[in-house]
Amino acid sequence: MGDPEAVARGVCLRALTGASKTRKQLADLLAKRGVPEDAATRVLDRFTEVGLIDDAAFAAAWVSSRQSGRGLARRALTAELRAKGVDGEVAAAAVAEVDPQDEWDAARRLVERKLPSMRRLDRATAERRLVGMLARKGYGGGLAGWVVREALDARDQGDLAADEAADLAEDGISEERPAEHAGARRRGASLPERIDGVGDGLEVGEGGRARSLGRPGRVPPGTWVDDLP
């Protein structure tokens, strides 16, 4: 092998060229290459001293990337950092920087992306699969259940509104200007001889205006006949 420390330095530098690594990852790589443990420790200590190995910086960057890119919750992020050899306290400090609101927003985005593929499923099945997907991302049951029910409720309300709009379209009624239809019906209809509680106190005057006959307050003076219900 020649100089074990020279070999260890070369291995570490090549490994760090592509992406940052934890001290544990580099130690495992040196062991796999057959570098003696004492030589590996000296090189790793030196790299840590000059800042080429920084587990805290690695953890912070990992959390930021995985939380925003993959939507992972804090529990999953902690597990991944521990698997890469990051110390528990260092991992906890990095994960603590995740804003709880960001975690909720990430869960909502995950559900929104997955929801269209669940359209053919009944609600119970869709809810179970969506909660399971969030659980695999590290979300707890309470948060996952809330976000999934919220999304399914919104979807159901949207489907109901779409069905109602389709029914109105089939009946030839426009949702945009319903008052116009009602006004057309009033203008085209004749004034009934008697309107319960009102008609017996009205008289049609000149110009089609209705005036009250002894029952003030029932119909305001000057009301047009077409304006009556």
- Per-residue pLDDT at 167: 60
Which distant-in-sequence residues (6+ apart) come within 8 Å of 38 by Cβ?
A: none
Which distant-in-sequence residues (6+ apart) come within 8 Å of 172 by Cβ?
A: none
Helix (H, G, I), strand (E, B) or coil at 99: coil
Which of 1.10.150, 3.30.565, 3.30.420, 1.10.10 would CATH assign to domain 4-53? 1.10.10
- Per-residue pLDDT at 150: 94
pTM (two decimals): 0.66
- The answer to whether 90 and 59 are in contact (CB under 8 A) is yes
- Per-residue pLDDT at 216: 45
Burial level of 155, CB count in 10 A (0-12/13-18/19+)? middle
The side-by-side arrangement of strands in the sheet containing 202-204 is 202-204, 209-212, 223-224
- The answer to whether 108 and 137 are in contact (CB under 8 A) is no
In this structure, which amino acid lies at residue 24?
Answer: K
- Per-residue pLDDT at 143: 94
Q: Where are the domains of the chain?
A: 4-53, 99-176, 189-227
Token readout for 114 is 């997955």
- Per-residue pLDDT at 41: 96
In this structure, which amino acid lies at residue 164?
Answer: E
Q: What is the pLDDT along the chain (229 residues), one digit of tens a residue?
A: 579 999 999 999 999 998 899 999 999 999 999 999 999 999 999 999 999 999 999 999 999 999 989 999 999 999 999 999 999 999 999 999 999 999 999 999 999 999 999 888 999 999 999 999 999 999 999 999 999 999 999 988 865 655 556 566 665 655 455 544 444 444 444 333 443 333 444 444 444 444 444 444 444 455 444 444 4
Phi, psi of 141 (to 5 degrees): -65, -40
- The answer to whether 55 and 49 are in contact (CB under 8 A) is no
- Per-residue pLDDT at 114: 93
- Per-residue pLDDT at 196: 39
- The answer to whether 115 and 130 are in contact (CB under 8 A) is yes
Helix (H, G, I), strand (E, B) or coil at 224: strand
